Chain A
């Protein structure tokens, strides 16, 4: 089942994708889809504004790189501050997922057989 990525989760996923390697905008969108086995889709109208916010906050840096074939591409790289923010956000999301699972698990045990 495909679901659209929530706006609040997008910055964390962008940072996580860029922690592996620098990528340009289109590649970031496709990488998120690939890593989720196409379960998560990204509205491209939200991708570039999210990238701009991350640039403004100093978490990523975008540089135009000439290509051997075709026009130059703007490639984004994670900064040290971005790596720290990514680790923090990843921990928060993991903790949140654990809490939800805990609550759901307890409700499951409380239900009559």
Chain B
């Protein structure tokens, strides 16, 4: 009986290859339990073990249908999680970096005069965002940083330019600010990626 059950589950497993291994194992575990329950009930009604399993498998349905339905549902779940994670990560990095930079302004200047503190805030905000929202954290953070930079810092190119600045000077200042922005963004995205990897590693350890 067990070979028939395992063959059936293996057929279903062939249609579940897109699922993460842990989830695939859990789905198959639950299906195995369901079929064994069905066999026990059928045997209590008088059927032989083999007939009970055949009946249970027939009622359970074709492996391809099972696989297709479960994969579709899993993909739905991934879309929902990715959407939540993207916006969560973007909001998280904006809020943490804004709070961090605000805190820097409140502290005495002699403590925060070194501009590297801004990098520290960016790294911390990226890491927190990555740990809290590991999916899509890197892409969300890069989008959030790009928007934040364009909206808040880039206009400073024109605000700080002395009157009568030449177009060439403005373009040169723009390039400097752009390079700054890319560097800030890259560091924050790297920190977000690191945070998400740290959390994924921690999850793997806890799941054994």
- Which A residues have a C-beta under 8 Å from some C-beta of B? 24-27, 30, 43-46, 48-49, 52-53, 56, 70-71, 73-74
- What count of chain B residues pass the 8 Å CB interface test? 26
Chain B positions 30-85 with a Cβ under 8 Å from a chain A Cβ? 30-34, 36-38, 41, 59-62, 65-66, 69-70, 72-74, 76-77, 80
- CB pair A56 B34 closer than 8 Å: no
Closest chain B residue to A71 by CB distance?
A: B33
Which of A25, A30, A44, A48 contacts B70 (CB under 8 A)? A48
Known: A45-B65, A52-B70. A26 touches B38 (CB 8 A): yes
Known: A26-B34, A73-B33. A44 touches B60 (CB 8 A): yes
Q: Encode contact with A along B168-206: 1 for CB under 8 Å, 0 otherwise.
A: 000000000000000000000000000000000000000
- CB pair B33 A45 closer than 8 Å: no
- CB pair A56 B60 closer than 8 Å: no
Closest chain A residue to B32 by CB distance?
A: A71
- CB pair B69 A46 closer than 8 Å: yes
Which of A24, A30, A56, A70 contacts B73 (CB under 8 A)? A56
- CB pair A49 B72 closer than 8 Å: yes
B residues in contact with A70, CB < 8 Å: 36
A83–B148 CA distance with the chains assembled, in angstroms = 41
- CB pair A52 B33 closer than 8 Å: no
Main secondary structure of the interface of B (DSSP, over half): helix
- CB pair B59 A44 closer than 8 Å: yes
A74–B30 CA distance with the chains assembled, in angstroms = 7
B residues in contact with A48, CB < 8 Å: 27, 30-31, 34, 66, 69-70
A48–B160 CA distance with the chains assembled, in angstroms = 62
A48–B136 CA distance with the chains assembled, in angstroms = 28
| 29 residue pairs A–B, Cβ–Cβ below 8 Å | A24-B33, A25-B33, A25-B34, A26-B33, A26-B34, A26-B37, A43-B61, A44-B61, A45-B60, A45-B66, A48-B30, A48-B31, A48-B66, A48-B69, A48-B70, A49-B69, A52-B70, A52-B73, A52-B74, A52-B77, A53-B73, A56-B73, A56-B76, A56-B77, A70-B36, A71-B29, A71-B32, A74-B30, A74-B33
A30–B44 CA distance with the chains assembled, in angstroms = 15
- CB pair A49 B73 closer than 8 Å: yes
What 10 pairs between A and B have smallest CB-CB spacing?
A: A45-B61, A26-B37, A49-B69, A52-B73, A56-B77, A49-B73, A26-B34, A45-B65, A44-B60, A74-B30
Query: Smallest distance from the beta carbon of A104 to chain B beta carbons, Å?
Result: 34
Among B30, B36, B61, max chain A CB count under 10 A is at B30
Query: Smallest distance from the beta carbon of A63 to chain B beta carbons, Å?
Result: 12
Known: A48-B30, A49-B73, A73-B33. A56 touches B80 (CB 8 A): yes
In the complex, besides A26-B34, A74-B26, 18 extra interface pairs with C-beta distance below 8 angstroms are: A24-B33, A25-B33, A26-B33, A30-B41, A44-B60, A45-B61, A45-B65, A48-B66, A48-B70, A49-B73, A52-B70, A53-B73, A53-B76, A56-B77, A71-B32, A71-B36, A73-B33, A74-B33
